[in-house]
Structure 1
Amino acid sequence: MHSYSRRLLAAVSLSTVVAVAGTACSGSTDTKGTDSGTYTIWDPYPQFDKTSAWAKLLDGCGTQAGVKIKRTAFDTSDLANKALLAAQQDNSADVLIVDNPVVSTLAEAGVLTTTDDNKLDTSKVDPNLLAAGQSGGQTYGTPIGANTLALYYNKKVLKAAGVDIASVKDWKSLTAALAKVKKAGRKGITFSAIGTEEGSFQFLPWFWGSGAKLTELDSPEGSSALKLWTDWLKQGYAPNSVLNNTQTTSWQEFASGDYAFAENGTWQLAGARKAGFDYGVLPIPGASGGNAAAPTGGEFVTVPVQGDTGRYATTHKLVSCLTSAEHLYDTDTTLSYVAPTSEVQDKQVAADAELKPWVDAVKAAEGRTSGDLGTKYPKISEQMWKAVQSALSGSKSPKDALTAAQDAVK
């Protein structure tokens, strides 16, 4: 599975996206087929070619609906701009599958229909996952699946340090475990604190796990989360490389077998199985216990506005087919995702018990644009990753770094 970074929305504001789309108007993207019997689907999965299980599922849903499918795959960062440009030209795809933070951007630009309009049934979807596609009291699509973050741990390293993983329940016990690991001459924890959306994505479970809110970056709770990370670096429990680590390079550090813990995502499961050592997975603990909310990754299936409203009935059939309980299991297995419904999650865990901690993590997860943050999120996130960089590099205290971040957001 490709890492989250390959599908990351480059934190881009609505105005930037529209501006980019506006400058590209000279070129037209013909999304419709040559006849009304062809329906277009755009997705962010260029790694899957026409022989893949994913492409065959799309074709199968088309056959079931009595139409041909014309599929185009884009890199995630291109997809929002292409969708906005196509909407300006009344040439939108019939079905658009986009990274969940993009949904509110497209919704606010008037590109997407609501579930009230398109009659998609979202009643079985976990509410915390559905929230990532909600804006202004409306829902714009349905999640195809979710991934999130948790802690991978190396059983051999922990055993050598005399750490019982069952003792790790909150920040205090996790830090105590890291101290034991260091004392035993091994390495503690690795993560990504890079100055991009990836850094914010990885900091969020600790920020939310402190009880902090994105609308108040400089709260005492938020400062305590950044102090946790800063103290880990000062104590030598985490390496200075986290400042430049992407989630991929952070994973490579853990895969070397030297580290006790790594914060990473569902998409690394295949890599973990190949790493050659015994590992486990633990949901990220909250400050005083319980599972912290980690951010949800994953895409939404959406229905763009069409000039020809007669197309919606068939589009509804296509989306219902893609997101049915029958097909979600296959789809989410292909994409290394946790399903968005309890029914299919139970089926996944029955088939692979290793998915249990990931299902628990997804159930506690939160959308980055939830709570009607929508297009405000990218600006908040940019200041968050800048604050993390300032504090970890030692140029500002955690409190001062987050105060500056909150002032900049205002």
Structure 2
Amino acid sequence: MGHINYADTTFVFLSTVLVMFMTPGLALFYSGMVRRKNVLSTTMHSYATIAVVSLQWVILGYSLSFGHNIGGFVGGFDFAFLNNVGFKANAAYASNIPQQIFMMFQMMFAVITPALISGAFAGRMRFPAFLIFTLLWSTLVYDPVAHWVWGDGGWLKTLGALDFAGGNVVHMSSGVSALVIALFIGKRKGINEARPHNLPLTILGAGILWFGWFGFNAGSALAINNVALNAFITTNTAAAAAALSWMFCEWAVFKKPSAMGFASGAVAGLVAITPGAGFVSMGSSLIIGLIGGAICFYSVTIMKKKIGYDDALDAFGCHGVGGTWGAIATGIFASKSINSAGADGLIHGSFRLLGVQFLGIIAVYVFAAVVTLLILVVVNHFTKFRATEDEEEVGLDISMHGESGYSLES
């Protein structure tokens, strides 16, 4: 069972709180980018996800993700309703902290992931359909992928794929699913007039995400050690590099650097470094951030327009594309000198890791896309996903929730 280290336990406890804080930060980040008539609806997507996935996780999700391995694909039901999840450590995952705190830490990853998807359909998905989708997606997509990558016996973990804090599990799975939903649900009504209504909210949300991401990445070391401190440094370095990279790209193309672009770049860098935060050096994280900011800028400002899909808040452009680059970069820059539990990447003389990383990317893309589409088709048969034209015209705050985010009354 292992010996509980109380310093490590406190560290993971605080990291859990930081990751939890990221979802309200995401609510601010997203809600500032939508039209004022959809600010509460967009906020509710993140907060409702906290509630729905918190219950799903303790009842079934944790067990499917980290329970007894079934064919490398999914966990069993041995931890359902938190059966056998106590203060003692589970040596398969962390022998130094109680399994209960490991479970809670992982819960916060499960919570924010479907909330990320909501950026793709902001302003046009009906709330009942959103609740059903979130529950099904968490169970049928997130939990199996988490087991593949992090679960004891998961097939990608067994092959040696590296994902320190959720490039595959969180960002690619949510980004690809977001793209599928954007294509399935169609473009927003009045998309050409859609403008961010409150950018200070978005900037505040980005700051909270940057702050919370230290728990997300450094906390994934599950101990106060050299790996945690390395992840702490690489996380901040990549975020700073990507913020400036996006800003200068935007400056060059559109002649002015925007606050929105700077904030988006920081988030893109945080996404890109997530898979490799505990496996790559500070110098490598600088490169990852610089390239990640530029790639995500291109995907959001140029690629999306060329293809013509309406990913309202760029969930795929930042999280799908950024997570993909991060997984590839891990295969290039990872070093066992940074983390002996990892592997050497391409620049350190090994081609194998990069191949495994590409396999993981393909597997997550295909699985997330296919299962998400199936969920959409089935749920849409019982309750419509898309709001009506009248509901969109009025705004989802009023049509779905019966209230307005702002009032002119004294």
* Alignment TM class, shorter chain as reference: under 0.3
Could you say which structure has the higher strand fraction? Answer: 1
Query: Quick one: higher RCO (CA 8 Å, sep 6+), 1 or 2?
Result: 1
Structure with greater helix share of residues: 2
Larger Rg: 1
What is the TM-score of this pair, normalised by structure 1? 0.25
